[in-house]
A and B are shown apart, each in its own frame.
Chain A
Amino acid sequence: MTSSPAAAAPTPKAKRPLIELRDIEKYYGDYYALRKITTDIREGEFFSLLGPSGCGKTTLLRCIAGFEELSGGNLLIDGKDMEGVSANHRPTNMVFQSYAIFPHLTVEENVGFGLRREKATKEDKARRVAEALEMVGLKGYGKRAAHALSGGQRQRVALARALILKPKVLLLDEPLSALDKKMREQMQSELRKLQRQVGITFILVTHDQEEALIMSDRIAVMFDGVIAQLDSPERLYRRPVSRKVAEFIGIMNFLPATVTGTEGGQIQLEVAGLGAIAIDAEQCPGAVKTGEASVGFRPETMTVLFEGDPEPTRGKIAGGEVEEVVYFGDMSYYDVKLDGVEKPVQISMRNVVGRPVLGRGARIRIAWEAGALVLFC
C-alpha cells in the first residue's frame, strides 16, 4: 500500500475528508446507475450506504474500490485523484459479500495473501498474520483449510486479510447478509468495536436499516443512483428529509396537513386529527411552502393514556379509537383511528406491569407533542 505524505499533515482528524466524491456518474450501457453523486467521507468514520435493492450501493462501492470505471466525475482518496489508478494500487481493501476466501489456501495463506509483494522477512510476515488472526478472534486457526470454515469464520478471515494491509479505507459489501440472525447481531457489535480499535475508515453497504443505524457514524440513504440524505443515524431517524426516506427507515405515520403560514422561525399548520399548531422551522428538513403537505411522526412519539395515568404536563391530547392491536411481548402496537382522520395510525407502547393491553374498539386518549412532528411539503 502506498501512503501519501498527506497522511502526516496536521489537519484535525475527525473533520478531514478522506474520500471526496465529485459528481460521480456510472452508466452500464444505457442504464444510469449513479447520477452525479457528490459527498465527502471523513477519516476514521464508520460510513454506511443504505438503500433498497438495485439503488446502486454496490456500484458506488466498487467505483471506490476501482473495480468499476467511472463514466463521469472525480474520485479523490486522501487528496489524490484515483483516475487511472487500478484496484490493486488503491489504498482501499474490500470484504466481499461472498467473502471470496481462496478455497485452495489455508487460513494463514489467505490472511497473508496481500503481504506477498512486501519486502519483509518471513518471520515478520508470520507475526503480522498471527496478529491479524488474533485481532479477529481466530487465534490458532491459521493452519486450517479455508474451505472448512463456517460462515462467521470466513467473514473473520476476510476481515483479517483486508485489514492486515492497513488500508486507508475498508470497503464492506453486505458482509453480514450471509450470516444467520444471531451471528449477524454478534458480528455487528464486533465490527463496530474493531473499527474503533483500528481507526480505519469503514464504508459499509447494507440494505438493512437497523444494521446501518446500529453501526454507523453517518449513513447515506440512496435511491435510484442518488443520495437522498446523508446524516447521523439519529438525525436520519428523527428528521428524514422526505417521505421516501422516512418510510425506508423505521415506521412513520403520516397525517394530511395544510401549511397556512410561516413567520419568525415558526410554521403554522392545520393537521387532520391534531388541529391547528405551530412547529419549529427546523422540523421541516426539506423546503417549506404553503399549501397541501403532510406531517409525520414515529409510533413511539405518541402515548396512549391509560386509566389512572397522570395527566401529561407537556403536550396535547387527541382522541381516537383502537382499530387493531398486535401484542409483541415487550411491546404492543395499536392501530388507532384518530378522530376526524380516515387512515389509522400506528402507536407503539411498551408493556409494563399493571398496564392492561387495550382491546379493539376501545375509546382512548392520546398524548402528543408538536416537537415530535416532521413536516414534508
Chain B
Amino acid sequence: MKSKGNGFRIYAILYLGFLYAPIVLLPIFAFNNSTVISFPLVGFTTQWFQALVTDTSLLLAVRHSLIVAVSVSILATTFGVFAARATTRYKFPGKGGLMGMIMLPLVLPDIIIAVALLGAITNILGMKLSLITVIFGHTLIATPFTIAILNSAFQSLDRSLEEAAYDLGETKISTFRLIILPLVMPGIISAMLIAFTISLDEYIIAAFLSGTEATLPVYIFSQFRFPQRVPVIMALGTILVCLSIVLLTVAEYFRRRGIAKAGGKSSGGFL
C-alpha cells in the first residue's frame, strides 16, 4: 500500500480533476455577469437563469426532449427486461449472436445508426421525420445499457425462488408478478433513469432524425453559433448537470438496493 499506493492515489486525484474540470466551470460561468465566457469573472448574476424561462424555443425543445426521453426510458427498459430475462434464465441456440446484435449499438458509431435510420425512414418507409423517429433511434442505443443493468438484477435472482413460488401453486405469470417483478424493480427503475439520461443527452441521432422538432441538445448546438446566447446555455447546462447527478444517484441507489435485496453483493458501476 504505502508509497506505491500514494503515487497511484495522486494520479487518480489529478485524473478526477481532469474529468471534473468542465463541470466545475459550468456554474461559475452560469452566474457570471458577462456575455463573454472567459476569465476574469465580472460579477454575480442570475439573469441567465431568468432568460431560460422566457425563451419559448428553448421551452419547446425541453418539452420535445422530455417526451422523447420518457418514451425511450419506457421502451428501452421494456426491451431490456425481455432480453435480460431471456439471457439470464434460458439457454437457446443463437443466443450469443442475437445478443451480440442487440448490444452492437454500444460500439457502432452514432453517425452510422443515424444515417442508416435516416435513409431507411425517408427512402423506404416514406415516414416524416419527427420525435417518433428520434424515439426509435434513442431506444436502440439505450437498450444495451438497460440490458447491462437489468442483467445484474436478474442474475442476482436465485432461480429456486421462482420454482418455489411455482411449486406453491402460482402460475408462471403470477410468479413473475409476485416474486420476480418486486425483486428486480430497483433494477428497472435504475434502467429507466439511465435510458432517460442517455436520451436527454444524445445529439447526433436527434440532429438527423428530429426534423423540425428540435430536442434540447439540437437546440443547444444551434445556439453555439450565437456567442451572446452562450451564458444562457451555461445556465441550462448547470441545471442539466444537477439533474443528471440527481438521477444517477437515485439510479445507483436503486441498483444497489436491488442487488442487496436479492441477497447479492456488487462492486460494479453502470455499464
CA of A93 to CA of B163 in the docked complex: distance in angstroms?
10
Q: Which B residues are CB-close (under 8 A) to A92?
A: 167
Residues on A with beta carbons closer than 8 Å to the beta carbon of B263: 103, 147
- Interface-lining segment among A94-102, A220-228, A343-351: A94-102
Q: Are A114 and B168 in contact (CB under 8 A)?
A: yes
Main secondary structure of the interface of B (DSSP, over half): helix
| Inter-chain contact B168/A165, CB cutoff 8 Å | yes
On whether A88 and B170 interact (CB within 8 A), knowing A67-B163, A96-B164, the answer reads yes
Whether A113 is near chain B, meaning CB under 8 Å from some CB there, is yes
Please, how many residues of chain A have a CB less than 8 angstroms from a CB on the other chain? 25
Contact of B163 among A87, A116, A117, A161 (CB under 8 A): A87
- Cβ-defined contact, B160 with A97, below 8 A: yes
Q: Check if B166 is an interface residue, CB within 8 A of chain A.
A: yes
Q: B261 on the interface (CB 8 Å rule)?
A: yes
CB of B169 within 8 A of CB of A100, answer no
- Does the CB pair A102–B165 fall under 8 Å? yes
Residues in B with CB closer than 8 Å to A87 are 163, 166-167
Q: CB < 8 Å: which of B170, B171, B261 contacts A104?
A: B261
Can you name the residue of chain A whose Cβ is closest to the Cβ of B262? A103
Query: For the complex, what is the distance from the CA of A298 to the CA of B28, rounded to whole Å?
Result: 86
Cα A65 to Cα B160 in complex, Å, equals 13
Q: Is the CB of B158 within 8 A of A93?
A: no
Q: Using A87-B166, A114-B168, A165-B168 as known contacts, say yes or no to A102 and B160 having CB atoms under 8 A apart.
A: no
A166–B8 Cα gap in the complex (Å)? 62
Interface residues of A (CB under 8 A from B): 1, 65, 67, 86-89, 92-94, 96-98, 100, 102-104, 113-114, 116-117, 147, 161-162, 165
Give 28 A-B contacts (CB < 8 Å), ordered by A residue: A1-B169, A65-B167, A67-B163, A87-B166, A87-B167, A88-B168, A88-B169, A88-B170, A89-B169, A94-B167, A96-B160, A96-B164, A97-B160, A98-B160, A100-B160, A100-B163, A102-B165, A102-B179, A103-B261, A103-B262, A103-B263, A114-B168, A114-B169, A116-B170, A117-B169, A117-B170, A161-B164, A162-B167
Instruction: List residues of chain B with CB under 8 Å of any chain A CB.
Output: 158, 160-161, 163-171, 179, 182-183, 261-263
